[in-house]
Structure 1
Amino acid sequence: MIHLRTRRDPVLDAAKGFLIILVVLGHLLARTDPSAAVATHALITGIYAFHMPAFVFLAGITSKPSGIGRRCAQFLTLLAVFQVAYFLAKHLLGSDESFPWVTPAWLLWFLLSMTFWTLLTPVIVRFPRASLALSVAVSLGAGMVDAVGYPFSLSRTLVFLPFFVAGFTHGRKVLARVAGLGLRGRAVVAGAALAVFAGLLTWSPDHNWFFGSKGFDVLEVSDLSGVAHRAVLTAGLLVLMPRKPTLLNRFGQRSLSIYLLHGFVVLLAAPYVLVMAKDNVWLAVVMLGFLTAGIAVLASMQPVHETIGRIGAICMPLVERLGGAAHASGTDSATAAVGSGDAASQRATVGAGSPHR
Structure 2
Amino acid sequence: MPDQGVAAAPATVQRERRLDLDRARGIAILLVVFGHIVARDVPPGVEWYEPVRYLVYRFHMPFFLYLSGTVVVLSGLLAKPPGRVVPQRAVRLLVPFFAIGLAILVAKLVAVQLVPVDNPPEGLAGGLRDLFWTTARSPATSVWYLLVLFLCTLVAMGLRRLGVGATGLVLLGVALQFADVPAVAYLDRFASHFLFFAAGLWVAEREAALLPAFDRWQALWWLAFAGGLVLAALGWVDERWSMVLCGLLCIPALHGAVRLAPISRWQWPLVLGGFSMAIYLFNTLAIGGTKAVLMKLGFGWTEAWFPLHAVAAMTAGVALPVLLKVLVLRRVPAVDRLTD
TM-score (ref. length: structure 1): 0.70
Q: Give the equivalent residue in structure 2 for 1:9.
A: 18
How far apart are residue 229 of structure 1 and its match?
2.6
CA drift at 1:23: 0.7
**2:267 is aligned with 1:232:** no
Q: How does 1:231-310 map to 2 (within 5 A)?
A: 231-241=248-258, 242-270=263-291, 272=294, 275-279=300-304, 283-284=307-308, 288-289=310-311, 291-301=313-323, 303=326, 306=330, 310=334
Does structure 2 conserve the Cα–Cα contact (< 8 Å) formed by 1:26 and 1:44? yes
Q: How does 1:51-62 map to 2 (within 5 A)?
A: 51-62=60-71
CA change 1:253–1:243 in 2 (3 A) is same
- Deviations 1:200-227 (Å, cap 9, x if unpaired)? 3233888xx3xxxxxxxxxxxxx44542
Partner of 1:113: 148
Mapped partners of 1:39, 1:137: distance in 2? 34
In structure 2, the gaps of 5 or more residues are 7-13, 113-119
In the alignment, what sits opposite 1:162?
Answer: 195
The change in CA–CA distance for 1:93 and 1:189 in structure 2 (over 3 A counts) is same
Q: CA RMSD in A?
A: 3.2
Q: Structure 2-normalised TM-score?
A: 0.73
Q: 2:172 pairs with 111, 121, 134, which one?
A: 134
Instruction: Give the total of aligned pairs.
Output: 290
Contact in 2 for aligned 1:140/1:159 (Cα 8 Å) = no
Residues 91-114 of structure 1: per-residue CA shift (max 9 Å, x gap): 111155333243363211112112
Cα–Cα, structure 1 residues 85 and 307, in superposed 2: closer, same or farther, change >3 Å? farther
Distance (Å, rounded) in 1 between the aligned partners of 2:169 and 2:17: 27
* Contact 2:66 2:196 survives alignment (8 Å): yes
Residues 135 and 161 of structure 1 are in contact (CA less than 8 Å); yes or no, is this contact kept in structure 2?
yes
Q: Which one scores higher on RCO, CA 8 angstroms, separation ≥ 6?
A: 1
- Pairing of 1:204-243 with structure 2 (within 5 A): 209=239, 223-241=240-258, 242-243=263-264
Task: Quote the Cα distance in structure 1 between the aligned partners of 2:109 and 2:286.
Answer: 15
Which 5+ residue runs of structure 1 have no aligned equivalent?
210-222, 313-329, 341-357
The letter of the residue matching 2:284 is G
Runs of 4+ that moved beyond 4 A: 179-183, 270-274
CA distance in 2, matches of 1:232, 1:308: 40
Distance in 2 of aligned mates of 1:47 and 1:84: 27
- Are 2:103 and 1:85 equivalent residues in the alignment? yes
Q: Which moved more, 1:187-196 or 1:151-160?
A: 187-196
Percent identical residues:
20
